[in-house]
Amino acid sequence: MKLIILDRDGVINQDSDKFIKSPDEWIPIPGSLEAIARLNHVGYRVVIATNQSGIVRGLFDLETLNLIHKKMYRMVQEVGGLIDAVFFCPDVDETHPYRKPNPGMLLEIVRRLKCSLKGVPVVGDSVRDIRAARAANAWPLLVRTGKGALTLEREAESCANVLVFDDLAAVAECLINSTE
């Protein structure tokens, strides 16, 4: 099974320092939905792993998060793609094992899908994503969208030996070309 794990905000959709609190605020990054579809078409299963502390912070509730994800699923399907699952951690506590940069969410994906993360790309836009991928023995990839450009600027040492792409479409292009 070919698997790719994506962070949500800043990788698939526009990010906001004020959180994505409603379906109306969830706006896909140009080309990201099509990138998911292209990955699906060459055999990748796409899973999302996202911190969603806005729930615990009282900015939105679980029902709203489900509506946001329903919109995301629908829009991906409209371009011929499929997201297999969304894993999220609503906790604010940095020590919670499922909250990135901790690897718990990624390890839960392994447990549920009965697979290994060795060589599995984990695409994110922050140092948290990189650290979680490394801690889970996955393959961290960074995009410049979302907080990615700022991450590269501020966390250069943490980004060492991490492949960097302009966006998810560029990641898909690279992965597809490497399997052909």
Sign of torsion over alpha carbons 147, 148, 149, 151: positive
Can you tell me the distance from the alpha carbon of 45 to that of 58, in angstroms, rounded to the nearest whole number? 32
Can you tell me the distance from the alpha carbon of 15 to that of 24, in angstroms, rounded to the nearest whole number? 13
Residues 9, 15, 125, 129: which is the catalytic one? 9
24 belongs to the catalytic site? no
7 belongs to the catalytic site? yes
Can you tell me the distance from the alpha carbon of 61 to that of 15, in angstroms, rounded to the nearest whole number? 18
State the pairing for strand pair 139-143/163-165: parallel
Under a CB-based contact definition with an 8 Å cutoff, are residues 88 and 52 in contact?
Answer: yes
- Residues with a known catalytic role: 7, 9
